[in-house]
Amino acid sequence: MDVEELVGRWQLTAWTAVDENGSVSTPFGDRPQGCVIYTSGGWMSGQLAVADRRELSTPMVLAGAESERAEAYSSYIAYCGEYRLEADVVVHTLRMSLFPNWVGGEQRRTAELFGDRLVLATPPTLVGEHVLVNRLYWVRAE
């Protein structure tokens, strides 16, 4: 894969997590929403959301009950930064992230391209008591 094949806007169609026993889960449900954008200048932005997220009880973006804000935070993932390709791996170097612990770090994703379809997979990652591989399925949106 080369950078020009990756450049553009991609829409999420599915997100699966498979554990070491082969059990499959869907972290954001059966209809996750998402968009990832790769520019020719080496910048990327990605966002994932649970479908039909509940609105907060306030019109103020920085207000609302702590429990409402926690629910909103836990149903959304967003980050942006530079990216580069290393063979079949796309490396995201994060400049901003909803999850502050990722800022300044890298997120590595194995990338497979099938025409207008893209699959990005995490390395095996220990989550709780299980090792998971997350796969995000995208379709070109342009």
CATH assignment of the domain containing 73: 2.40.128.280
- The CB-side HSE value for 68 (13 A sphere, CA atoms) comes to 12
Model confidence pLDDT, tens digit, residues 64-105:
899 999 999 999 999 999 999 999 999 999 999 999 999 999
Model confidence pLDDT, tens digit, residues 124-134:
999 889 999 99
User: 54 with 64: CB under 8 angstroms?
Assistant: no
Using a cut of 0.85, tell me whether the model's pTM lies above it: yes
Total number of domains constituting the chain: 1
Domain span at residue 60 reads 3-140
